[in-house]
Every structure is written in structure tokens, then in C-alpha cells.
Amino acid sequence: MSIQSQSRPDITINTLAQMKRAGEKFACLTAYDYCSAHAASEAGIEVLLVGDSLGMVIQGHDSSLPVTIEDIAYHVRCAKRGNRGALLAADLPFMSYYSETASLKNAAILMREGAHMVKLEGGAWLAETTRLLTERGIPVCAHMGLTPQSINHLGGYRVQGRDPAQGQAIIDEAKVLQQAGASVILIECVPRTLGATLTNSMDVPVIGIGAGADTDGQILVWHDLLGLYPGKTAKFVKNFLEGNTAGIQGALAEYVAQVKQGKFPDAEHSYD
């Protein structure tokens, strides 16, 4: 039987808040099973996410929309067994938080399976849901910018917030969600200047993916970090396994190091 690593205390939402105040960056990564969760947490990843991206990288769909709450719950159970001290977040998948009743029921399912926080996609319209969950002891990560569950509405995987008015709207709505109780904001696929402005505007930690190097944390998909996904690669993706002679653990260690040093993402992997 594996014994949990004692190299660091368990990461909590308070840990992330303290790291933001101290100006210390943190690394996040998706994990969908025992082995990936174990390897990532042992490498020093602070936040693991059981993301609905599993629809593409695990199930082979062309979007995250077919993923169900049962799918996420199963992978949370698997990842929990491998996790060694990271904060374990889980996505509420498409149409699983369409009402107060559904939001509470489905978030409770994931928390009972071992999640420490749930992630929802959307803007200010999620304020009441965020407040509802937070008041009942369920930490919330609000996912903004490019929201893959709304891909049909957005018209494709496009950079968000390039228009100044749209960028300001994202910041304003993030503040609404922070006021409603969101513990973390995740911002995807926006210009790096907007990522920096948003991060500086928020009291809670901001995690970026394709949002420049100035956010408090960075997240990538496991299969992208290791160059495993055969589909189209986004600009913000970097293969840390390529050329790394230390294998998967070396790739994970290099990712953590580059995030903490502010070297990833660089200009090549960011949007102007």
C-alpha cells in the first residue's frame, strides 16, 4: 500500500490564497486516474482537476458536451486514490448546474467522491449558484473567458477578451463571482495583458490557461503536457516530455519549475 508523501502539507483553498498574497505561483494539471494523480501530486502539482476535457482525451469525443456527472464522479474516485496532498477540483459538466436543485445535487455527488472544489463555466449569471454552493460549504472555481461547454454559442475555440469592452466585462463579472463567494477564478484563452490585469484586480487566486504568465497559477491538460493527444494543438500548449531525458516525472518537474519561475507560458505560448 502506498503511503502519502509527507514532503508538504495538504494544499487547500487557504494555501492558494496565501500563495497569491506572497506572490508565489502554483502549478495545476488535469488528472483522470490513479496513476496520473499520483505522479502529478508527487511532482509538486498543487491543484489537480478532474476536467470534462476527459470527453476528448479519454472518451474520444469532439467536445466536452457528452460528459456526464457519472463520468466525472468515476474519475474523481480514481484520482482521489492516487492523490498525495494536492487540492482536487472537479468539473460540473454540461447542463449539470442548470437549476439550484441540480447544482446542489451534482456538486454534492462530486464532493462525496473526494473533490475539494467544483468548477463551473460562465460569468455573472453564475453568481447565485456560486453563493448557493459556497454557503453550503462547497468551494467554487469560476471558469471564464473561453468556456468549452458554450463552444456552440461562441462559434468555435476563439480567443476571448481582445475587444477592450469584452475584456472589461470579463473583469467586472469576475468581481461579481468573487463577491458571491468564488474561491478561485480560472481564465482561459485571453490576451496575456488581460490575464495580468484580471489577476491584479482580484483578491482570490487566478489560474490561467492560455492567459499569459502573470496569473497566479497555470493549468494544462495531462495529455497536452506529455504530447499524447492526437488532435489539433492549441497555441498555449507545450509538450514538456519532448526532449526530456527524465521521462514523465522529469516533464512534470520541469512544468512545475517553469510555472513557479514565471517562464511558462512564454510569448510563444501566449496571445497578444
Is 242 catalytic? The answer is no
Q: Which of 173, 188, 254, 268 is catalytic?
A: 188
Q: What is the pLDDT of residues 86-114, one digit of tens each?
A: 999 999 999 999 999 999 999 999 999 99
Domain 13-269 top-level CATH class: alpha beta
Q: What is the pLDDT of residues 31-80, one digit of tens each?
A: 999 999 999 999 999 999 999 999 999 999 999 999 999 999 999 999 99
Beta-bridge mates of residue 29: 48, 220
Residue 7: predicted pLDDT: 66
Domain ranges of the chain: 13-269
Whether a cis peptide bond, with omega within 30° of 0, leads into 205 is no
Question: Rounded to an integer, what distance in angstroms lies between the CA atom of residue 36 and that of residue 41?
Answer: 8
Residue 54 burial (10 A CB sphere; 0-12, 13-18, 19+)? buried
Q: What is the pLDDT of residues 181-232, one digit of tens each?
A: 999 999 999 999 999 999 999 999 999 999 999 999 999 999 999 999 998 8
Matching residue, cell 526532449: 243
